[in-house]
Structure formats: structure tokens, C-alpha cells
Amino acid sequence: MKVYKNQNVFQAALDRIRWIFSEFPNPVVAVSGGKDSTVVFQLSMLVAEELGRLPLKVFFLDQEAEWQATVDMVKSIMYDERVEPYWVQAPLVLFNATSSTDQWLKCWDESKKDIWVHPQDPISIKENHTGEKRFAKLFDALMEYHFDGIKTCLIGGMRTEETPKRFLSLTNKAIYNGRTYGKRLSRRQEHYTFYPIYDWSFSDVWKSILDNEWEYNRLYDAQYRYGIQVRNMRVSNVHHETAVRQLFYMQEIEPETHNRLTKRLAGIDMATKFGEDDYGVVDELPFMFETWREYRDYLLEHLVLDDEYKKHFLKHFKYADEIFGEDLGDRKYKVAIQGILRNDWEGIMLENLRLNPKYIPIQKKNRALRDKAREEAKNGLQIT
């Protein structure tokens, strides 16, 4: 449930950032080059100037396969004289959903320096001292390394409007001093992340940018002109399982970036040539299969050649069968097939299906049935 107050979201966000600055001696703004983090950066800069807390620390984890417009946007922030830059261009690995043979992009691999998607910047941090290479864990590890022993708050641009999962996670439970709109990164280090624009809408973000004449990533303009839906506008890395649709128009918007990415990573050219109408599309069941499940199992057997990845797919399929049963009809099989075609062995697409609020009642029902069956088996009853 939403509770409306007699205060606009702009002033509310400023008050939240003022509170962050009062609670944490080391506020750090996380930017991605996107619209939300742009707003958070600008709001934090207003507060930092107001409180005499400059320079403002700004953090960006560069994934190498970035849009040039995003790199340009981040560079304009990092070279601001009011900013203390933490532009990380250190080795990490990212999943490549476009190839079953070249499954990982080893970002900033020195042996591939001549074909990097974009060069390292002179002011960036180029060493990864954490020992962690996966993106999801590296972010927190870098915070712990660079701000070891310092009470720190990362200020991010997440908004609850984007997904029901975010709404629940940022409104359900207080994580620090009565505030819900964040998460704890490390209890021992007293590291937290807060999202001061969590209750903003898409319109609030763009109105704020327009009214204040803030610089923003011009890739959004190109995507708008191209007809990309608002929910599909992304300005970050382009080759993981939920972002590959960007490849279908990248060669028209940023052809040079697309050419460099094609040289850098296998599968990019293939995915681009297939296009949105054909790449990973599973609208019609091939005539030689009787069911979508049979088609899924065939693709798993013949397309996924690595036994270790095959085990991951099987685990995700088994779990989907348990929580959904046959209530979704063919939908879960179609999502699983898309996962195979996009090499989504981590199960991200099926996980997104699980998190869809529309299907939560189905999962609860099937969970109750499983619990009942286990109880009856435990009591030695005959199950029919």
C-alpha cells in the first residue's frame, strides 16, 4: 500500500540524502550512466555542496562492453572537479548469452587489450585486489576493500516502480534506523546501500532532469526515436540473458561500438543477424515435436554440450516443475527453451517467471500440496 504525503518526491529525496549524510561519514554515489543514477548523483551533489561535504565520492563499475554514450556520460561525471572518482576498470567476468562456446567476457583481459570495446581511462582503478570476479559479488567486495573500516553508505538509483520484487524489498522491512529503502552490505563494516528515489516514477525522473537542465545519457534519445519501449530502455552492458535485445538496434545507433563488440565476443554477430523476430523466439512448436516439454528436453540434450551446464539447466527445470506444476500450461516450457537458446544456465529467466506476482498463488498452492504429500508419506499413509 502506498501512503501519500504533503511533500513532493524531489524534496523527500533531498531530505533522505541529507539524513544519509548526517548518519554516514562516507557517502558514495553509485552511477551507471542511466537516468536514475544521474538524478541520484545530481541530488547528492546538491546536498554535498549545501553541507560543505565536497568532493563527492562517485563509484562506477565499468563492464567494458558498454555503450559509448554511457562511457561519455560517466566520464563527464568523473572529471567533474567536485567529484572524487572511483571509476573501476578492473578484471571481472560477465556472462555472454549469445554463445555456447564463448560463454564469458573476461573484462579488461590484458591479452585482449587490442580489441577492448573501449579503452581504460587514465584516472580509473585498474587493479582488482578483492579476489572476486563475478559482478554480483564484486560490487560489495570493492566497497569493502576501498572503504575498509569506514562506516559507508552507497547511494543508488533503484526505484520500486520497476518491479514488484523491488517494491517488496524496499518497503517491507526496516534495515537501519527505521528506514526500509535500502539493504545492508556488511554488518561488520557498517556498509549499507540506500535508494533515496525509491518512490519516484519514470515521469518524476525525467521531469527532474528537464526542470533542472541536468546532463543525461543521450542514448535515451536515440532509443526513443527508434521506438524502444520505456521498460526496455537500457544503457548498460548488452550481452547478458536479459539485455541481448539491445544488439538488435545497436548497429544502427552506435555502429562503431557494435563492430568492436563483434570482434571482442563470439555470438554477437549471430544474435544481431537473427534480430528480435527470430533470436530466441519460440512462438510455434516445431512440427516434429508433440509437446513443448519434449522440445525443451531435445534442445537441452543436443544444444547444451557441457555436462556441468546441463546439470544447472536440469536443476532449474526440476524446480520450475515443482513450483508451477502444469498450471502455467506451456509457458514455463517456452521460457525454459528461451533460456537454452540464450544459454541462461543460471536460470535468470525462470527466476523472473517465479517472481511474477501473477503466479505467486500457483506457487503457494503447489507448495501446500507438496507439504501435504510429505506429511502423508511421513505418517506412512497411502498416497493416491
Helix H, strand E, coil C: the string for the chain is: CCCCCCCCHHHHHHHHHHHHHHHCCEEEEECCCCHHHHHHHHHHHHHHHHHCCCCEEEEEECCCCCCHHHHHHHHHHHCCCCEEEEEECCCEEEECCCCCCCCEEEECCHHHHHHCCCCCCCCCECCCCCCCCEHHHHHHHHHHHHCCCCCEEEECCCCCCCCHHHHHHHHCCCCECCECCEEEEECCCCEEEECCCCCCCHHHHHHHHHHHCCCCCCHHHHHHHHCCCHHHCCCCCCCCCCCHHHHHHHHHHCHHHHHHHHHHCCCHHHHHHHCCCCCCCCCCCCCCCCCHHHHHHHHHHHHCCCHHHHHHHHHHHHHHHHHHCCCCCCHHHHHHHHHHHCCCCCCHHHHHHHCCHHHHHHHHHHHHHHHHHHHHHHCCCCCC
Q: What is the pTM of this model?
A: 0.80
Q: What is the pLDDT of residues 114-126, one digit of tens each?
A: 999 999 999 999 9
Domains of the chain are: 9-204 (3.40.50.620), 292-377 (no CATH)
Q: What is the pLDDT along the chain (384 residues), one digit of tens a residue?
A: 567 677 899 999 999 999 999 999 999 999 999 999 999 999 999 999 999 999 999 999 999 999 999 999 999 999 999 999 999 999 999 888 787 777 788 999 999 999 999 999 999 999 999 989 888 788 889 999 999 999 999 999 999 887 777 777 777 888 889 999 899 988 888 999 999 999 999 999 999 999 999 999 999 999 999 898 888 888 888 877 667 778 888 889 999 999 999 999 888 888 777 766 656 667 788 899 999 999 999 999 988 888 888 999 999 999 998 899 888 889 999 989 888 887 788 888 888 888 887 888 888 888 888 888 888 777 775 554
